[in-house]
Amino acid sequence: MLNIDLRKIYKFYPIEPAPAAGALPTGGDVYYECLDCTAIINSMPHIPSACVCGNLQGNSGKVEIKLEERVRAVKGKLK
C-alpha cells in the first residue's frame, strides 16, 4: 500500500450540506476523511488504500467503512 499524503496534492473542502452517515456520496472528486486518524482516501480507490486506524480501507473501486459516523465526505481539487 502506498502511503501518500493527499493533502500535498489536493485542497479539500467539506461537502455541504453534510450527507448522512448511511448515504455517503461517491465519485472521482469525492474523498473520505477519517475523523479518528485524519487520513484521506478516495471514495472509489483503484489501488489498495487504508487509513492508519483501519476505519477506511478500499481497492478495486470499493471502500469498506467500519464506523460511518467517524467519516466525513470531502471534495478535492488540485492545488
Residue 60 in domain = yes
Tell me the whole-structure pTM to 2 decimals: 0.91
pLDDT at 2 over 70: no
A 10 A CB-CB count for 44 gives 15
Residue 73 in domain = yes
Question: What is the domain range of residue 50?
Answer: 6-78
Residue 1 in domain = no
pLDDT tens, position by position, 8-64: 999 999 999 989 878 999 999 999 999 999 999 999 999 999 999 999 999 999 999
CA-closest candidate to residue 8, choices 33, 40, 36:
40
